[in-house]
Structure 1
């Protein structure tokens, strides 16, 4: 009996209970955070859920979220200072979206991310985006339709756009940090903007009309060098970037018909492989892309029942895609000089000894290196009809 009591006494030392337990009604559930640089301080904006407004039984029709904001010498300090105005302690365990202001990004984002990666309350599965031509606070101050919580709208829109349009990237914190610290690859982040009448964005009227006065929209890719924003890729270049780094899941693209007019292809399968090599002492990469797609729309007179027409469409698509991708590579090389494609990483994998020799000079090597692009396109289906009815209309 004494022996059992002794064992129970020892075990009790390790069973400390929930010493850090907090009640739900003591927490301010934060689904979106914004970080800006205002002069020499960090400004943190928290988008916090209003519990009574997300319940169908107690909702009064007011906004389902509220914003709290504070500044501090560090992100941690600013976040903690929000307790001066919030009745509940900010809890970021369910964070969905982190918005970084453009001014902050131009100065460097590494320091502001340290706390988020270190604090145990933050999970790392939230998306990180950059406010383009505005502050993060301005983005978070916009009401949204369909998804009445703006943080959910931003999260779901980015996930859907990445999967179906291929011009955006849904990077989580761990992926961003990996790119920031990787040898031979720089980071990119998706840009977010507010379109329309920005001053109307926070009003209730913004979501009461069919067409909101202000909308949150994703636009372009932010190009980084180390942890600093150096420029923006257009939506077109963003799609080509994703093609190079094999991040295309599904998208559509317009291509030229053999003579005149356009056809639209739905890309249903995409595979891009990058291989680095050294050619006469100079770094090169081979980019081989295989595409499978369907004909989704025809705005020209072509005979889709003729196999030769399909072959010609495939060749036209291959040529156009190769030219477009090469153009984007040259733009990044000459304009930004930032290896966002991971060409250096490819050289490192294939020639580790050679990479050691050129690693320190990669900023000079990257803008001058050669990228060989080869695209192979196969068209699988032409839809539920053969030739377009446009041909019959024009023949009347």
Structure 2
């Protein structure tokens, strides 16, 4: 009896090892790694999909063919277009490995609620892809520009955005979930990175672009796009993206060129940074206090023959850096307040967390309250060392 019972248990568990009911063979599918959304000519949307050619991404199997295949289709809903793509593609598309979704400026100005709903609702599509805008031209052109190192446009752009965020602060690192959370929040408005195609997009789509050291076309990180709900209201230069990231406590490491008169600059590499925010209501208006502390070391000195073995030199450099950062960040906040009137910084969320009862008075019209808010910025910069050289050419005798 015991043996019969054991056999029954084993047979029962074998039912759960029979495989996946919805499995698809790799030889019968293609991986979509990039999607571009443009305004359609005859329909609401024009969707372009980039599907990779795996053999060309492997150095051992590459034969000089195109690293990916791009196909465009129009339709009135995203769901319809996604399932009609085999009009052009031979294999079934899998969207679970998408790296980038690029929207045109025209789509951003028109509104994105319908296709965002599709991206979030679809169970196959993950929410960890880069969500970006192209500042001019067609979003589809971004997927066609080839690059020597990462041959696929989407793979190159994914690595480019990640590296830019880590080394300098040029990308806010926005995913679909981040955009939706800001869209549904009463105390924050959405943002995303914007890219620009430098050069001729048609030449960038040619295989000849892979054979040149100076490319005919390249996709560059260009600016920061700001939204009111799902519609674009304006953009900020990429230099101000980093200033924005200071307010979000997202600066990992960066180089700051601090002016010191007569076209001379002091270069500081900041490797530790922390931002604290205090939010309150004073005299009937929101009062936001940003406290930014950064540490780093001297990476270049062209401000004159300052002796680097004296503490007064470091105090002077720290003061210059503090004033410079404070001026830049305060200027950015003032521009967003007065010219655009959207709280992309999430100060409303800070106020809601710290003083939920007071926030309720402004919750329905927070953007209006944000425009009248008093926002103070304090900076504290510490230079810990002078790099490998304690003197430098300005202090050495001839």
TM-score bracket for this pair, using the shorter chain length: over 0.9
8 Å contact from structure 2 (residues 45, 77) kept in 1: yes
Aligned position for 1:118: 121
Shift, 1:257, TM fit: 3.2
Q: Decide which moves more: 43-52 or 271-280.
A: 43-52
Aligned position for 2:34: 32
SS across alignment from 1:125: coil
User: For residues 209-242 of structure 1, what are the alpha-carbon distances to aligned partners after superposition, in whole Å with 9 as ceiling and x for unaligned?
Assistant: 1111101111111111111111101122211100
8 Å contact from structure 2 (residues 168, 253) kept in 1: yes
Shift, 1:342, TM fit: 0.7
Q: Give distance in 2, aligned partners of 1:262 and 1:6.
A: 79
8 Å contact from structure 2 (residues 226, 232) kept in 1: yes
Count of residues paired in the alignment: 394
1:378 has 2:378 as partner: no
- Give the TM-score normalised by structure 2: 0.93
Aligned position for 2:277: 274
1:188 has 2:191 as partner: yes
SS across alignment from 1:210: coil
8 Å contact from structure 2 (residues 179, 190) kept in 1: yes
Q: Give distance in 2, aligned partners of 1:253 and 1:99.
A: 30
1:341 has 2:345 as partner: yes
1:131 has 2:129 as partner: no
User: For residues 124-149 of structure 1, what are the alpha-carbon distances to aligned partners after superposition, in whole Å with 9 as ceiling and x for unaligned?
Assistant: 22111111112210111111111112
Q: Give distance in 2, aligned partners of 1:52 and 1:262.
A: 48
SS across alignment from 1:364: helix
8 Å contact from structure 1 (residues 28, 90) kept in 2: yes
Q: How do residues 47-196 of structure 1 correspond to structure 2 at under 5 angstroms? A: 47-196=50-199
Q: Give distance in 1, aligned partners of 2:225 and 2:333.
A: 15
Q: 1:13 and 1:3, CA in 2 relative to 1: closer, same or farther beyond 3 A?
A: same
Aligned position for 1:227: 230
Aligned position for 1:19: 21
Q: Decide which moves more: 286-295 or 126-135.
A: 126-135
Q: Give distance in 2, aligned partners of 1:12 and 1:163.
A: 47
Q: Give distance in 2, aligned partners of 1:179 and 1:190.
A: 15
1:330 has 2:334 as partner: yes
Shift, 1:179, TM fit: 1.7
Q: Give distance in 1, aligned partners of 2:11 and 2:122.
A: 33
Aligned position for 2:265: 262
User: For residues 45-73 of structure 1, what are the alpha-carbon distances to aligned partners after superposition, in whole Å with 9 as ceiling and x for unaligned?
Assistant: 11111233334454320111010111111
Q: How do residues 235-246 of structure 1 correspond to structure 2 at under 5 angstroms? A: 235-246=238-249
8 Å contact from structure 1 (residues 258, 316) kept in 2: no
Q: Give distance in 1, aligned partners of 2:216 and 2:345.
A: 37
Shift, 1:388, TM fit: 2.4
Shift, 1:197, TM fit: 2.0
User: For residues 233-291 of structure 1, what are the alpha-carbon distances to aligned partners after superposition, in whole Å with 9 as ceiling and x for unaligned?
Assistant: 11222111001111100000111338872110001100001111111221110000001
SS across alignment from 1:153: helix
Shift, 1:36, TM fit: 1.6
8 Å contact from structure 1 (residues 29, 90) kept in 2: yes
SS across alignment from 2:23: coil
User: For residues 264-320 of structure 1, what are the alpha-carbon distances to aligned partners after superposition, in whole Å with 9 as ceiling and x for unaligned?
Assistant: 000110000111111122111000000101110111212222211110111111111
8 Å contact from structure 1 (residues 71, 81) kept in 2: no
Correspondence for 1:350 among 350, 354, 376: 354
Q: Give distance in 2, aligned partners of 1:7 and 1:250.
A: 57
SS across alignment from 2:360: helix
Q: Give distance in 1, aligned partners of 2:262 and 2:217.
A: 42
Q: Give distance in 2, aligned partners of 1:253 and 1:213.
A: 31
Shift, 1:16, TM fit: 6.9
8 Å contact from structure 2 (residues 142, 153) kept in 1: no
8 Å contact from structure 2 (residues 144, 201) kept in 1: no
8 Å contact from structure 2 (residues 128, 176) kept in 1: yes
